[in-house]
Amino acid sequence: MGDDPGALWSHPQLAAAVLSEDWGAVFRAYRKLTGLSQSRLGERVGLVQPDVSDIERGRRRVTSVEVRQRIVEGLGIPSRLQAAAAPMAAGKAPVASLTLSGPAPDEDLLARVTSVVDSAHRVDAATLDWLDGLLAAHRRAEDRIGARPLVDVMRQQLRTVVDMYSGARGPLVDRVVRLASEHAQFLAWMAQDQDDTATALAWYDRSHEWALEAGDANMAATTLNMKAHMAWSKGRATRCVRLAEAARWSASGTSLGVQGMAAQMAARGYALNGEADDARRLLDEAQRLISRASEHPEDEPVWMYFYGETWFTLQRGMAAMHLRNWRVAVDHIAVGLDALPDEYRRDKTWFRACLAHALAGAGESAQAASVAMASVPDAAAVGRPHSWNELHTTAAMLLRRGAKEGRQLVAALREYD
């Protein structure tokens, strides 16, 4: 494999390590696949053997742009992986302009969606107001129908926004950049919902850069919050905590709701790591922030429309699941589901799948299977892959415990596979 760079960097373990920016895992996988020693690998990337060893063991983190670039060049990491993985490529400014000259989310995607063309028309506030409303409507639609039907629509809509850049003047320039950032964040979320991690990370990075350029602290922090959510979904508890904490300190002036989401995301990471005290402390802090935010909803950014007491109750249930407090998890998730409006079809499907999991953990096999099987049609329609995977996890738990309902759930899932 070492003689075939294409095959080497197509290896899923190595590609995943690059995309997640886990340089210790990159070194370990690269050496395993090529047979290189730590010393020889160090020669390629300009590091001494003890430094390579420390990075592999997690004793040293790669934080320097210069060191990162030496690794990229020394190992010959393809540009397609660099673009998706790098939050700050060497030689590039940390804030990319709307000329899109920095690392692209995906070369083909970039060509189709965000190529900038000269525009003779002038942009006015009324047009941007209309696009704001259209984005809000699409966010609401995605709650009901899921991401798949909307992805192409949103790509075209982002292109429309980006094409306006050359025609914007004065304060409208910041509005165009801010609107582009919001579209990129929504595209990232939809990619994340479809478990397309590389595309999601790239769009979150692009959204973050545009938010900084436009001076939008709330969106800058939100992109970090959502990257924390993605780290959590991949089982990376420590990275979840670190990204959530970064969302709290890196962008001053964020709203109380955005701060509350960051505290809740950090709590989720601690819970995933089994650190109950820190999880509960941050959940309590998040609840105080959310309560204060509810007193002045006009101060919250429009994309935070979903985040309130109901959502937070569901998040407490998720944290309890991680801590294996099954009965507490059941109680919180059941209460949250009862209060969650039906238009949140995708989210209701996800939390029903989680409720089934929690019920199975609590030993209530018949009820777990009943909730799970009722969720199967929606999970197949709008809940793939996350809700679907959660139902399979529930089935596996039931089977391990010898519950006959496990076989019934497996049969129901197979009808839609």
- The pLDDT tens digits along the chain (417 residues) read 444 555 677 777 787 778 777 899 899 989 988 889 998 898 888 887 888 988 998 888 887 777 888 898 889 888 766 654 543 333 333 333 333 333 334 444 334 333 333 344 568 888 888 889 899 999 989 988 888 888 888 988 888 888 888 888 888 999 999 999 999 999 999 999 888 888 899 999 999 999 999 999 999 999 999 999 999 999 999 999 999 999 998 878 899 999 999 999 999 999 999 999 999 999 999 999 999 998 998 899 999 988 889 999 999 999 999 999 999 999 999 999 999 998 899 999 999 999 999 999 999 999 999 999 999 999 999 888 889 999 999 999 999 989 999 899 999 998 887
CA-CA distance, 240 to 214, in Å (whole number)?
A: 26
CB atoms within 10 A of CB 358: 29
- CA nearest neighbour of 363 among 329, 407, 322: 329
110-145 burial, b if ≥16 CB within 10 A, otherwise e? beebbebeeeeeebeeebbeebeeebeebbeebbee
pLDDT at 387: 92
* Per-residue confidence (pLDDT) for residue 310, from 0 to 100: 92
Q: What is the pLDDT of residue 259?
A: 95
The sign of the torsion formed by the CA atoms of 334, 196, 140, 285 equals positive
Res 85: pLDDT: 52
What's at 222, amino acid-wise?
A: T
Tell whether the torsion through CA atoms of 17, 23, 28 and 34 is positive or negative. Answer: positive
The model scores a pTM over 0.85? no
Q: What is the pLDDT of residue 317?
A: 96
Q: So what's the pLDDT on residue 121?
A: 54
How far apart CA 195 and CA 386 sit, in angstroms, is 8
Contact (CB, 8 A) for 269 and 228: yes
CA distance readout (Å), 365 to 257, 295, 362, 391, 415? 37, 41, 8, 13, 21
Question: d(Cα 25, Cα 55) in Å, to the nearest integer?
Answer: 9
